[in-house]
Structure 1
Amino acid sequence: MGLLGGLAGVWLGAQLGNRPDTVTVSLHAVIHDQLHLTRDQEAEIEALEADFAREKSAFDQRLAEARHAIGTSLMESREMSPEVVEAAEALHDVMGELQLSTLNHILAMRAVMDVEQREIFDARLAAALDAER
């Protein structure tokens, strides 16, 4: 039973780690379609997005490695061993780092906006975060 639970955890982690970040995707649409950015704002946000895409790619690699480590540990021990727990905690650590990086990215884009744009953005951000419940 422990093996099945562990496999289910690995599968769930893989599903969550591979799904598009709907909040970020939704905010991207708001930023580019509804905020009427100036050319300078657009250029600054595009640079932020390019930087974040590179950072996210590195996180995706680390997440894949962490999921692999869980699977390897689980297949070796066939139980919820300390190694499996450690590998799962490492995955959660990377996921937490990615979440913080995403929040910093969102705030960096927000800092580029004027007051009116921020009001629209903030309302959409709150709605997007609430929709995840």
Structure 2
Amino acid sequence: MKNTILFLAVAGTLAIAGAAHADYKRVKTAKQFNSDIVGKKLTDEQGNVFVANADGTISAKLKSGKKFSGTWVWNKKFWCRNGVLDGKALGTDCQLWETDGDTARMTREKGKGKTTIYSINN
């Protein structure tokens, strides 16, 4: 019982500390997206690496070995990408992006879908 209480106390403290640490700011303009994200390596928790290139293309190196290619545009307050994964069209997904220093958070479906956290590297 003591171990369970200790575990819950530690887990709760870590969750609060993690929430307090993340101070994401929404990327609202193309200029800000270009400055914060474009041309930088974005690495997710699985080790997949993506780059939104200045020419509107997307480069990727996936751990699975699958091939990803795509294009992107800034549309109002969202980054919209059109991708192809191993020859299968993924369609367009407009995503909400937020940054906190060297970390980015992307949420699919205009902020209503799945969220992915990326480390940002130059």
TM-score by length of 1: 0.25
Where is the strand percentage greater, Structure 1 or Structure 2?
2
Structure with larger Rg: 1
TM-score by length of 2: 0.27
Where is the helix percentage greater, Structure 1 or Structure 2?
1
